[in-house]
Amino acid sequence: MLKIFVGFIIFAALATFVIIKGGSNLDMGGEKHGDEAIHAPAEALPGPASAPASESSADK
């Protein structure tokens, strides 16, 4: 029983430390859906996959 209590105290202290260090950047609202969801823009991946396809069709 003492081990469970000590483990809980350590976990609570760690959680408190993380919340305090997070500051105002910590979002405790959970999962967001709809308009309030923030999605990072997908970056265009530079790839040679599209370039050879257009060159091969021009060679024919």
* Rounded Cα–Cα distance for residues 33 and 4 (Å): 37
Contact in structure between 19 and 26 (CB atoms under 8 Å)? yes
- Over 80: is that where the pLDDT of 13 sits? yes
Cα separations in angstroms, 30 against 7, 11, 25, 54, 59:
26, 20, 14, 45, 54
For 14-47, how does the pLDDT look when each residue is reduced to its tens digit (9 = 90+)?
999 988 888 777 777 777 777 766 666 666 656 5
The pair of three-digit structure tokens given for residue 2, joined into one six-digit string: 């003492």
Q: pTM of this prediction?
A: 0.43
CA angle 17, 20, 21 (to 5 degrees): 85
